[in-house]
Amino acid sequence: MGQRWDNFKEEMAWPYVQITNWFAIEDNQEAAYWIAGATAFVALLVYSGLFFGGRAAVNAFNDEVTIAISDQCVNAKGLVAIDAPSTCFAPKPPAPAPRWTPAAETPQKQKAKAPYDPPCVKDKLPGCTDQIYGKRLVEGLVDTVTFKTDDEQMSDDHLQPDSTEVRFAEYDDQEPPSSEKFCGNVLHKFTPGKKIKMVINESKQSDYNGCYVIDVVQLSFGGSPYPKRK
């Protein structure tokens, strides 16, 4: 046994001397202190997290869930009966009443229909004309023709009848004239790509309607028939 111990001390003498010589250097000492301190700090963080996390998990696992039941639903041993109905368990508490009550909606009065009472020297029927106070020449190459009847149009607080809008294209390097509106559905009067030349009448009726009457048509308003009047 003594011989083995002597051999072991001889084997450990060389690394001991090397470590002692390395630690004797001042820079090596400072590095060793920093390494030891950083290792201790990291170990503290890791083991603290494991300790508190494990403790929280154990506490959560040990929490008891209590279900309230009535006395008639247990057996003689104080345990829940095997065939206990769902009524034995405490009902879910009702939701708290809202702190505010929605106000009852006040019925809104139906808005009166917009009037349509154009000037007319005859019998105030659709398509009647007023006295003409001017004439105008319209000439141009037809580009697009659209009958607008989707929505009711308003102007100066009264209805405007559905109208056919004609847009013109550039012709012979000349600027196209402004688009024109004609009362009612007169799509059959115009063909895109063809040139037209016509005279339209200016009157109080055309001013009121915002369109010109060039044919006997049944007026509509947003697709609805002409409104009845007293």
Task: Give residue-wise pLDDT tens across range 131-143.
Answer: 788 999 999 999 9
Rg of the chain over all Cα atoms, to the nearest angstrom:
50
β-pair type (153-155, 132-148): unpaired
Q: According to the model, what pLDDT value does residue 142 have?
A: 94
Nearest to 201 by CA among 129, 143, 110: 129
How many angstroms separate the CA atoms of 18 and 8, rounded? 16
- 196 sits in the region (left: phi over 0; alpha: psi -120 to 50; else beta) called beta
Q: What angle do CA 136, 141, 143 make, to 5 degrees?
A: 115
Q: What is the pTM of this model?
A: 0.48
Cβ neighbors of 89 (< 8 A, separation 6 or more) are 67, 68, 69
- 173 sits in the region (left: phi over 0; alpha: psi -120 to 50; else beta) called left
98-127 residue pLDDT tens: 666 666 666 666 555 668 877 776 655 555
Asked if 163 and 210 touch (Cβ cutoff 8 Å), the reply is: yes
Q: Position of tokens 């059959």?
A: 188
- Of 157 and 166, the structure prediction assigns the larger pLDDT to 166
167-215 residue pLDDT tens: 999 888 888 889 999 999 999 999 999 999 999 989 888 888 899 988 8
Say whether pLDDT at 145 is over 90. Answer: yes
Residues paired with 163 in a beta bridge: 148, 183
- Of 8 and 157, the structure prediction assigns the larger pLDDT to 157
How many angstroms separate the CA atoms of 186 and 211, rounded? 12
- Mean pLDDT check: name the lowest of 78-92, 167-181, 216-230: 78-92
What is the residue extent of each domain of the chain?
A: 1-90, 132-223
Structure tokens at 57: 């998990």
